Amino acid sequence: MRSLFVDAIVGALAYVVVSFLEIPLAMSKSLVPSLIGPATFLVAGLLRGSDKGNLWLKSVGINLGNWCLMFWFLTSYDRFPTASDWRDARGWIPVTFVSTVCGIGLRRLYGFAVRRFLD
């Protein structure tokens, strides 16, 4: 249970980092703002991708904080969320999930390669 809580906190912190990094670059015509989110969640997966537990459940645990914080921000304003807000959310959920899975997989692959090399 403690691991799930820490994973959710890491996911929420990654969401906060993404939102603070994307705000100054939001009006940019470059590809950089759209790469900040996947890169941040790839790093979150690398940080929390230990060797124990199911890869998919670990990714859900990390993204749980991200998704809860995202839905809280969507519904906390005085206005009702528009269709474009939900459309952006539907695109954000699989991108962060796949990025986190890739980060966890890279961490486990690196750990496997290191153990294999040392044996």
Residue type, 88: D
Tokens representing 93 are 């959920």
Could you give phi then psi for residue 19, rounded to 5 degrees? -65, -35
* Range from 39-43, 61-65, 76-80, 92-96 carrying the lowest mean pLDDT: 76-80
* Range from 6-10, 52-56, 75-79, 97-101 carrying the lowest mean pLDDT: 75-79
Residue 11's nearest CA partner among 94, 87, 70 is 70
| Percent of the chain residues topping a pLDDT of 90 | 15
What DSSP string runs through 77-92? SSSPPPHHHHHHHHHH
The C-alpha torsion from 6 through 96 and 23 to 78, rounded to 10°, is: -80
Q: Is this prediction's pTM over 0.85?
A: no
Tokens representing 100 are 């986190």
Could you give phi then psi for residue 77, rounded to 5 degrees? -75, 170
Cα torsion 14, 19, 21, 22: sign = positive
Q: Where are the domains of the chain?
A: 2-118
Instruction: Give 57-70 pLDDT, tens digit per residue.
Output: 889 988 998 888 88
